[in-house]
Amino acid sequence: MSQLQSSALARVKPSATLAATAKARELKRQGRDVIGLGAGEPDFDTPDNIKAAAIAAIQRGETKYTDVDGLPELKAAVVAKFARENGLTYGTDQIHVAPGGKAVIYNSLVATLSPGDEVIVPAPYWVSYPDMVLLAGGEPRVVIGHEADGFKLKPEALEAAITPRTKWLILNSPSNPTGAAYSADELKALAGVLARHPHVWVMTDDMYEHLIYGDFEYTTIAQVAPELYDRTLTVNGVSKAYAMTGWRIGYAGGPKPLIDLMRKVAGQTTSNPSSISQWAAVEALNGPQDFIAERGRAFERRRDLVVSMLNQATGVRCPNPEGAFYVYPSVEGLIGKTTPEGTVIDGDETFATALLEAEGVAVVHGAAFGLSPYFRISYATSNEVLEEACSRIQRFAASLK
């Protein structure tokens, strides 16, 4: 029998975050007391006004196909959002709506990558970027953003990574998995490099835009470097900001020729995202926004709690991130130590496995995000759970000899 898996899919790894979640679920099923800190979704519920808009859409009979890349009403809401929050001017013919930010990103890569085309992916990266590039037939070029540089891509490193085959640079601010966010000056410095390479497009994944803490001022690259507007795709969505992960609505604004190609991909694959979810997203973007700041304050308190408790764990060093709901602590100080059962901690994957076995805390090891020795914690859960989880991590770290 010929091989079932396609050569394109054979280049792709299964999602490490999903694997960690599945392992934690399996231990729970066996009766273990497990705290899962792997999932990347807000624990808050979708606000009631958004749910009501979806119910009203069903009752009005808005249950048919819509335009492939989004209802005119949703595109208009997205146009207004980009103008209001990001100072970006798009026409409705420059907007793409798809089933989640994930689908938006995938459609853009499938629409533009030819075999051998390269995509610069700064690490630590969201697990899906390199594999989506591979699936779309391109070549990810991973460039490390070191902890000393706030896990951010330096202009010199960007310059060194660009080749004649570079098609895209993917930026993600605030970042999954580190929570790092780029300041306007840092974005301008990257834009300065890109100005010298007019063949490189920029995809900015702004999914965590509204989860920003302290006095950090959020900006996106097309806003601070308008000279890049004609080659920037600004990706966003309602999943994280409005606690709507299950509704599957993402969107992007960009140059019309690119948006036309993305519509061509969607037209032969998914067609439109759920009509009902689209009406819910119209309400999310046009309705009251004040709960976002309130929830942001709750996330900020959780960040402070987790950063402080992890920095009290022996051998763990936890940077204080600007945004999102993740921290990315280093376990450098634990490498080479041994658990009471005799396992030597030789890297972040062994650390994560031993932590899960000893204390029932599920985290994702840093190698999955392209930079070791670290691990990622999602703190989108209650203070009580976070306190318990961090106490267990402290106890585990103290037990290593």
Ligand X SMILES: Cc1ncc(COP(=O)(O)O)c(C=O)c1O
Q: How far is the CB of 210 from ligand X (least distance, A)?
A: 13
* Residue 173 vs 223, nearer CB to ligand X: 173
Using the rule CB under 6 A, which residue among 38, 42, 237, 254 binds ligand X?
A: 237
Number of residues written out for the chain? 401
**Can residue 239 be called a binding residue for ligand X (CB under 6 A)?**
yes
Size of the site for ligand X (CB under 6 A): 13
Which residue in the shown chain puts its C-beta closest to ligand X? 100
Among 101, 254, 273, 323, binds ligand X (CB under 6 A): 101
Q: Does 172 bind ligand X (CB under 6 A)?
A: yes
Stretch binding ligand X (CB under 6 A), from 98-106, 140-148, 191-199, 210-218: 98-106
User: Minimum distance from CB of 239 to ligand X (Å)?
Assistant: 4
Contact by Cβ (8 Å): 375, 390: no
Q: Report d(CA 311, CA 308) in Å as an integer.
A: 5
Residues 13-42, interacting with ligand X (CB under 6 A): 40
Q: Which is nearer to ligand X, 74 or 397 (CB)?
A: 74
C-beta closer to ligand X: residue 179 or 319: 179
Contact positions with ligand X (CB under 6 A) in 320-359: none
In the bound state with ligand X, the residue whose beta carbon lies nearer, of 15 and 391, is: 15
User: For residue 362, what are the β-bridge partners?
Assistant: 36
Q: Which of residues 104-143 bind ligand X (CB under 6 A)?
A: 126
Kindly tell me which of 40 and 321 has the beta carbon lying closer to ligand X.
Answer: 40
Q: Which stretch binds ligand X (CB under 6 A): 94-102, 251-259, 275-283, 370-378?
A: 94-102
Residue 102 makes contact with ligand X by CB under 6 A: yes
Q: Of 21-29, 49-57, 95-103, 131-139, which part binds ligand X (CB under 6 A)? A: 95-103
**Cβ closer to ligand X: 281 or 309?**
281
Q: Does 176 bind ligand X (CB under 6 A)?
A: yes
Question: From the list 69, 118, 186, 205, which residue makes contact with ligand X (rule: CB under 6 A)?
Answer: 205
If one asks whether residue 182 binds ligand X (CB under 6 A), the answer comes out as: no
Burial class for 159, CB neighbours closer than 10 Å (0-12, 13-18, 19+): middle
Which parts of this chain interact with ligand X (CB under 6 A)?
40, 100-102, 126, 172, 176, 205, 207, 237, 239, 245, 250
